[in-house]
Amino acid sequence: MKKALTLVLAVLMLLTAVFCFAGCGKEEKKVLKMATNAYFPPYEYYEGKEIVGIDAEIAKAIADKLGMELVIEDMAFDSILTAVENGSVDFGMAGMTVNAERLESVNFTTSYAKGVQSIIVKEGSAITSVDDLFAEGASYKVGVQLGTTGDSYACSDFGEENVTQYTTGNEAVSALLKGDVDCVIIDNQPAKAYVANNEGTKVLDTAYADEDYAICVSKENKDLLEKLNKAIDELIEDGTIEKIINKYIKE
């Protein structure tokens, strides 16, 4: 009888120890690390010390679904792919366009939003539409954000010598105001936000290119890609993604 009791006690103690080891007290969630470049409103930008925006909110909704804790790391846009490839972050989400070149080094999830490349000029500029950039004899200086699709289109369309790469879109717009470049090619929604903050600039109505935004994941991490895709599908299905986008983009 006494032996049996001792045995029961021993088993109980062992179980408690095991459970405690697995997370006694406060439950620790696994971290899901996202890389972004947080100077790209309304997709990602700082509100005080916090990174907010469409991507930040969708990422949070995805992390919640996976029962993980989202941590966002801000870096230069052109460092995101490398960070994803070398595994220092779990995924990259930065209003990032899916394209063939990037697909050589990373995988992309299902697209969660559409993007449009557009053109910012100074009020009263001779450039009034995309066509003006391609007109015979036209030679304009173009500003872009380094490593973006706007950067690669501009370089192939107008020649590297006519393109200046800035670290952020805002810096490109400041250069436009100073007269260092004649236009800025960048995603439409951030373009509108930059223009709203920089008097004397405007976004042309004509689109330069249409794009799909998606999350990039290391080719090594098929498991995460599947999980993200499942979460995105569900968040599209139940209207969460649309709701988040409509919260930041009103038109």
Handedness of CA 81, 82, 86, 90 (dihedral sign): negative
- 97 near ligand ARG (CB under 6 A): yes
Q: How far is the CB of 173 from ligand ARG (least distance, A)?
A: 13
- 94 near ligand ARG (CB under 6 A): yes
Nearer CB in complex with ligand ARG: 79/229 = 79
- 214 near ligand ARG (CB under 6 A): no
The residues in 33-92 that bind ligand ARG, with binding defined as CB under 6 A, are 36-37, 40, 44, 77
Q: Which of 109, 149, 164, 218 contacts ligand ARG by CB under 6 A? A: 149
Nearer CB in complex with ligand ARG: 127/185 = 185
Nearer CB in complex with ligand ARG: 78/234 = 78
- 171 near ligand ARG (CB under 6 A): no
- The amino acid at 140: Y
The whole-angstrom separation of Cα 239 and Cα 237 is 6
Q: Which letter, b or e, does each residue of 71-96 get, where b requires 16 or more Cβ atoms within 10 Å of its Cβ?
A: ebbebbbebbbbbbbeeebbbbbbbb
The DSSP letter of residue 213 is: E
Nearest to 56 by CA among 31, 75, 36: 36
Q: Are 213 and 112 in contact (CB under 8 A)?
A: yes
- 96 near ligand ARG (CB under 6 A): yes
Pattern 183-212, ligand ARG, x by CB under 6 A: ----x-----------------------x-
Nearer CB in complex with ligand ARG: 210/238 = 210
Q: Are 123 and 182 in contact (CB under 8 A)?
A: no
Contacts of 98 (CB under 8 A, 6+ apart): 108, 111, 211, 212, 213, 214
**Residues in contact with ligand ARG, total (CB under 6 A)?**
15
- 109 near ligand ARG (CB under 6 A): no
- 132 near ligand ARG (CB under 6 A): no
Let me know if 10 is exposed, middle or buried by CB neighbors in 10 A (0-12, 13-18, 19+).
exposed
Q: How far is the CB of 37 from ligand ARG (least distance, A)?
A: 4
Q: How far is the CB of 178 from ligand ARG (least distance, A)?
A: 21
The DSSP letter of residue 97 is: B
- 115 near ligand ARG (CB under 6 A): yes
The whole-angstrom separation of Cα 150 and Cα 208 is 9
Chain contacts with ligand ARG (rule: CB under 6 A): 36-37, 40, 44, 77, 94-97, 115, 145, 148-149, 187, 211
